[in-house]
Structure 1
Amino acid sequence: MLNYIPSWIISMVLIILISVLFYQIYFSIINAYSDDKNRITVVDKLGSILPYALPLLEGLQNFGQQILPDYPFSLMSLYKKTLMPFVIFYVTHPALAFIIFFVLYYLFVRAKSPMPNRPFIRFNVLQSILLFLINSLLGATFRALPIEFRVSIYGLMLCNTLFWFVLSTIIYSVIKSIQGKYAKIPVISQAVRIQIDTQ
C-alpha cells in the first residue's frame, strides 16, 4: 500500500505531525513559565535555532555543492556524514522549502499568529526567513551568470565568498540565540526590527 503513495506526501505528513507535536510541547512548556513574554527561556532559544536550518540548507544547495568538493578531505567527509543527507533531501523536494517558509510565516511572523507572542523567537524566525530570501536571490543571481564565469577562478571566488557570508551569518545568529541575545547583522537585523515594530 505504501508503495503507491508518493514520497513527498509521506514527507509532508511527517512534517505536519512533527510540527503539531512541537506545537503542543511548546505550548505546555511556555504555559508552565510565567506570563512575562520578554523572558527568554530554553524553549525560546531552541525555537530560535531551528528556523536557521532553512537558510543553511539553501546556502549549501546554492553554493556549498560547488565549492565543498575542493576543500580538504576531512572537512568534506564531515559534511558528507552530517549535512549532506539533509541537503540531498532538500534538493530532491524543492517544494518543501516554500512550505516550511509559509508555515514559519503563518505561525510566527503574522500579526494574528496562533502562537503566543514570544519576541525572541519571532525575531529569529523573521531573520531566518529574510536570510533564506536573500540566499535564494543570491543563488538565483549566481546561477544566471554565464557558465564560463561560474567555473572560472573568479566565479569560484565569488561562490566561495557568498557561501562564507551565508554560513557566517547563520553561525553568528545561532550563537547569539544560544546565548539568549539578539543578533545584530547590519541591515538584515534592522529590517527585522522595523517589521516587528510596525506590527
Structure 2
Amino acid sequence: MFNYIPSWIISFIFIIIFGVIFYQVYLRIINAYSYGKNDITIIDKIGSVLPYGLPLLEGLQNFGQQILPDYPFSLMSLYKQTLMPLVIFYVTHPALAFIVFFVLYYLFVRTKSPIPNRPFIRFNVLQSILLFLINSLLGATFRALPIEFRVSIYGLMLCNTLFWFVLSTIVYSIFKCAQGRYSKIPVISQAVRIQIDS
C-alpha cells in the first residue's frame, strides 16, 4: 500500500509531525518558565542551532562532494560516517529543502507567526534561511560554469574557498547559538537585523 506513495509526501508528513511535536514541546517549556521576551533559554539555543542544518546540507551538496574526496582519508571517513547519509537523503529528496524552508519561514519569520516571538530564535532562523539562499545561489552559479573550469585547478580552488566559507559561517553561527549570543557575520547579520527591526 505504501509503495505507491511518493517519497516527497512521506517527507512532508514527517516534517509536519516533527514540527507539531516541536511546537507543542516548545510552548509547554516556554509557558512553564516565566522568562522575559529577551531571556535566552536552553530551548532557544537548541531551536536556533537546528535550522543551520539546512544551509550545511546545501553547502555539502554543492561543494563538499566535489572537494572532500581530495582531503586526507581520516577526514573523508569521518564525513562518510557522520554527514554523508544525511547529504544522500537530502540529495535524493530535493523537495525536502523547500518544504523545510517554507515551514521555517511560516513558523518563525512571518510577523503573524503562530509561535511566540522569541527574538533569538527568529534572528538565527532568518540568518540560516539567508545562508541557505546564498549557498543555493553560489552552488547554482558554480554549476553554471563550464565543466573545463570546474575541474581545473582554479575551479577546485574556487570550490574549496566556497566550501570553507559555507562551513566556517555555519560553525561560527552554531558556536554563537550555543553560547546564547548573536553572531555577527558581515553583511548577512546586518541584513537579518534590518529585516527583524522593520
* TM range, smaller chain: over 0.9
Normalization by structure 1: what TM-score?
A: 0.98
Aligned match of 1:23: 23
Aligned match of 1:130: 130
**Per-residue Cα deviation, 1:112-134 (whole angstroms, up to 9, x for no partner):** 11110000000000000000001
What's the offset of the Cα at 1:6?
A: 2.2
The aligned amino acid for 2:99 is I
Alignment of 1:112-131 (within 5 A): 112-131=112-131
**Per-residue Cα deviation, 1:133-158 (whole angstroms, up to 9, x for no partner):** 01111001101110000000000000
Counterpart secondary structure, 2:103? helix
What's the offset of the Cα at 1:16?
A: 1.1
Aligned match of 2:4: 4
Identity across the alignment (%): 84
Aligned match of 1:197: 197
The aligned amino acid for 2:193 is R
Taking the aligned partners of 2:36 and 2:138, their CA distance within structure 1 comes to 39
Alignment of 1:61-76 (within 5 A): 61-76=61-76
Taking the aligned partners of 1:27 and 1:120, their CA distance within structure 2 comes to 15
What's the offset of the Cα at 1:4?
A: 2.2
The aligned amino acid for 2:176 is K
The aligned amino acid for 2:101 is F
Alignment length, in residue pairs?
198
**Per-residue Cα deviation, 1:79-115 (whole angstroms, up to 9, x for no partner):** 1111111101111111111111111011000111111
Counterpart secondary structure, 2:182? coil
* Unaligned stretches of 5+ residues in structure 2: none
Aligned match of 2:33: 33
Contact 2:108 2:125 in 1 (8 A): yes
Aligned-residue CA RMSD (Å)? 0.8
What's the offset of the Cα at 1:9?
A: 1.8
Contact 2:56 2:170 in 1 (8 A): yes
What's the offset of the Cα at 1:35?
A: 4.5
Segments of 4+ in structure 1 off by > 3 A?
A: none
Normalization by structure 2: what TM-score?
A: 0.98
The aligned amino acid for 1:170 is I
Taking the aligned partners of 2:8 and 2:116, their CA distance within structure 1 comes to 30
* Unaligned stretches of 5+ residues in structure 1: none
Taking the aligned partners of 1:109 and 1:11, their CA distance within structure 2 comes to 22
The aligned amino acid for 1:116 is P
Contact 2:8 2:95 in 1 (8 A): no
